[in-house]
Structure 1
Amino acid sequence: MWLLSVLVPLIRLYFCGARVLVYQMFNRSFTLPVLPKQNGRVAIVTGGTRGMGFETARHLAGLGMHVFIVGNEREEGAEAVKKIQEGGKGKAEFVFVDLTSLKSVRQFAHAFRNRGLPLHLLVNNAGTMLVPEMQTEDGFEFHFALNYLGHFLLTNLLLDILKKSGGPGCCSRIVNMSSATHYAGVINLGDLNRKKHYSSHGAYAQSKLGLVLFTYYLQEQLMAGGYHVTVNAVDPGMVDTALYDNLWTLAQMLKKPVTKVLFRTPAEGASITLFAAAASELEGVGASYLYNGERRASADISYDTELQAELWKKSCELVGLQQA
């Protein structure tokens, strides 16, 4: 039983990865359209110190945005801001936040609110993959906490600012970073910390499925309330970033020869995030799963409205939020 609980998620996840690589073998990364200027607008990008997050923050600043780079590496953050400001366009600030800590997320949200700034874009980009089993200071499984739950709390704490900042024909936007691995994801509401049979592969896929469920449910609530805020999930494909550093040894050996040929660059991976964040074509468009410049169907289970609502309710309980 234990062996199956480990092997099944592993096989499902690597099968998803293989399908993506085959697609990328025959399809180039889409060309990002010219994006409209974003002068005077404010964005938050989590995990913006390196990789796709940095490329996203750099491009948004170049469009004229005031970008807050959220991360847990102070030196990397300072270097990222320096690189962006050397370009002479836009404005960037680094703010230390540990997304695995509910206290840290709350402190950042409180500090941001005190700045009195609007918020036009929230990019929930930060993530980790295939780390060994461990719990956060709040007692949550690490993938679930960093990839999903921290972003769930951050989004909800800033949602009223996003609502006030959006308007007709100029919606505020939320972009959630998912991946093809969500197709292999299974949500067990009774064991979200995966204590019974831990699998890092299963935990990662669960966190990415959670983000898609969260995307669809939140958009439905925003539409029902008549708010000018859109929420979309994006899939960057397989990108050459540090996210893959935790692959098991054989996978690492197989990855190295194909990385430069089949993997996307961080800039290419960030293009789908930027498309969701600023493209005119997506003005007013929400509840989409975006891949390589197109709207795609996500996993069948992600459209289960009962599961969406149940996960939302459970997530509110876990982070101490009252449901509206």
Structure 2
Amino acid sequence: MSNQISAPIIVTGAAGFIGFHVARNLLDLGYQVIGIDNMNTYYDVGLKEARLAQLTGRNGFGFHRVDIGDKEAMADIFESIRPTHVAHLAAQPGVRYSLENPHAYVDSNVTGFLNVLEGCRACDVKHLAYASSSSVYGNSPDVPYSTDQNVDNPISLYAATKKSNELMAHAYSHIWNIPVTGLRFFTVYGPWGRPDMAVYLFTKAIRNGDPIKVFNNGDLRRDFTYIDDIANGVVKVLLSPPASDTGDADGKARQRVAPNYRLYNIGNSEPADLMQMIETLESLTGGEAVKEFLPMQPGDVYETFADTSALERDFGFKAHTPLNEGLAAFVAWYDAYHSSRT
């Protein structure tokens, strides 16, 4: 595919779950990609290395093993690459881990994001697309969640850092006229997924005959969104910077909002009960989960449900993969990946 972007696109978190898929999609489309990742030990580094091996050696791909919290290293990369487009997908993820290691979240999600913003400012980038999270909605009872809602009441430090990202991005967009788009992801799952997430944890436990922890006694709902839908949406948005004359549906100027700043939900818009997800995994694996029912965990939310009408309106994009199809693809990948490593 021919394209009009001559400089490489920087993808932070390129060895991570979403970053890997976005980098691969961009390479498939013929773009040059420079991946950045610190390959930390939050989860199995071998999985990160296996993802990276899928990218390394491909035409147009380069990689820097760098922590985004390293101010000087990040400045050097931006100065040498001079990117026009940046997909910022690196972060310290996970709600529950933020209770154990809060400093990791500020170091990566706040300081690291500042370094990315500074790099974008220095290089006068044409578009920064960055990852936010449905966690910013906290325990709001107003579903489906809309980006017009107030999100000033996070219930985890992880969510607070993601809300901070949105505020920082808006400030930089306003002050430096940087085109920026934030994407609030909703419960992403699929092949090459993170081992700390429920779909991976439950599949592994069922395969090994181990118990699974079912929080809030199974009374939870999640807007499970398949990774291919997420990656396709990120790429579509990344390659379409906001215009400086952005207006609302009535054509009126958006007061109090930087003209080059946008924020969208990206999710499946079809929440499923946690128990439905477990039952589907049992059917796909042919096993029965040993369930350990537990109370709600601190920082967890009862339900996530994305209103994606704005993304559909502005990009004609909608996630479409049904949960049973996405879980089937994940289980097939899980079995193939783990059998190849034994």
Query: In the alignment, is residue 232 of structure 1 matched against residue 178 of structure 2?
Result: no
Q: Does 1:202 align with 2:156?
A: yes
One of 142, 150, 153 as aligned partner of 2:112: 150
Tell me the distance in 2 between the aligned counterparts of 1:76 and 1:155: 28
What is the Cα deviation at residue 48 of structure 1?
Answer: 1.3
1:58 and 1:179 map into 2 onto residues whose CA distance is 22
Preserved CA contact (<8 Å) 2:98 2:156: no
Tell me which of 230, 233, 237 is aligned to 1:272: 233
Deviation at 1:201, TM superposition (A): 5.1
Q: How does 1:9-28 map to 2 (within 5 A)?
A: none
Decide whether aligned partners of structure 1 residues 111 and 85 sit closer, same or farther in structure 2, where only a CA change above 3 A counts.
Answer: closer
Distance 2:156 2:98 in 1: 12
SS at match of 2:188: coil
Q: Name the TM-score, length of structure 1 as normaliser.
A: 0.57
Structure of larger gyration radius: 2
Structure 1 stretches lacking a partner, 5+ long: 1-34, 167-171, 186-199, 224-228, 297-324
Deviations 1:217-253 (A, max 9, x none): 1111123xxxxx3011102222114275389933499
For 2:118 and 2:237, how far apart are their aligned partners in 1? Answer: 20
Q: Which residue of 2 aligns with 1:69?
A: 35
Q: Summarize the Cα distance change of 1:91–1:212 in structure 2 as closer, same or farther, 3 Å threshold.
A: same
Counterpart of 1:245 in structure 2 is 197
2: CA distance between counterparts of 1:180 and 1:216?
Answer: 18
Deviation at 1:77, TM superposition (A): 6.1
CA distance in structure 1 between the partners assigned to 2:5 and 2:135 by the alignment: 35
Structure 2 partner of 1:59: 25
C-alpha distance in 2 between matches for 1:120 and 1:112: 10
Give the distance between the partners of 2:243 and 2:51, measured in 1 at CA: 29
Aligned: 1:96 with 2:111:
no
Aligned match of 2:13: 47
| Residues 25 and 232 in structure 2, CA contact (< 8 A), matched pair in contact too | no
Q: 2:94 aligns with which of 102, 123, 129?
A: 129
Cα 1:219–1:132 change in 2 (3 A) is closer
1:174 equivalent among 128, 139, 146: 128
Measured in 2, the distance between the counterparts of 1:211 and 1:173 equals 16
Report how far residue 150 of structure 1 moved. Answer: 0.8
Q: Quick one: which amino acid aligns to residue 122 of structure 1?
A: V
Q: 1:133 to 1:173 in 2, by over 3 A?
A: same
Structure 1 residues 221 and 267, CA, compared in 2 at 3 Å: closer, same or farther? same
Say if 1:85 and 1:126 are closer, same or farther in 2 by CA, change over 3 A: closer
The equivalent of 1:216 in structure 2 is: 170
Q: 1:243 to 1:251 in 2, by over 3 A?
A: farther
The one of 44, 50, 54 aligned to 1:83: 54
- Structure ranking higher on relative contact order (CA contacts 8 Å, 6+ apart): 1
> Structure 1 CA distance, aligned partners of 2:7 and 2:217?
44
- Go from structure 1 to structure 2 and tell me whether the alpha carbon gap of 1:288 and 1:111 turns closer, same or farther (over 3 Å shift): closer
Deviation of 1:268 after TM superposition, in Å, equals 1.4
Report deviation, 1:132. Answer: 4.8
Q: Is the 8 A contact 2:136 2:159 kept in 1?
A: yes
Unaligned runs of 5+ in 2: 40-44, 140-153, 202-211, 247-259, 267-307, 312-342
Q: Residues 170 and 261 of structure 2 are in contact (CA less than 8 Å); yes or no, is this contact kept in structure 1?
A: yes
Cα distance, 1:208 vs. partner? 1.1
User: Residue type of the partner of 2:261?
Assistant: A
Work out the percentage of aligned pairs sharing the same amino acid.
15
C-alpha deviation, 1:134, in angstroms = 5.1
User: Which residue identity does 2:118 align to in structure 1?
Assistant: N
Query: Using a 3 Å threshold, how does the CA distance of structure 1 residues 85 and 150 change in structure 2: closer, same or farther?
Result: closer
> By how many angstroms is 1:288 displaced?
1.1
Give the counterpart letter for 1:83 in structure 2.
Answer: Q
Amino acid at match of 1:45: V
Query: Do the aligned residues in 2 keep the contact of 1:178 with 1:234 (CA within 8 Å)?
Result: yes
SS in 1 for 2:183: strand
Q: Does 1:118 align with 2:82?
A: yes
- For residues 277-311 of structure 1, the C-alpha deviation after alignment (integer angstroms, 9 at most, x for no partner) is 1137x455631111246537xxxxxxxxxxxxxxx
In the other structure, the counterpart of 1:291 is: 265
Contact 2:129 2:181 in 1 (8 A): yes
Give the TM-score, by structure 2 length: 0.54
Displacement of 1:40: 2.0
Kept after mapping to 2: 8 A contact 1:105/1:154: no
Q: Is the 8 A contact 1:46 1:124 kept in 2?
A: yes
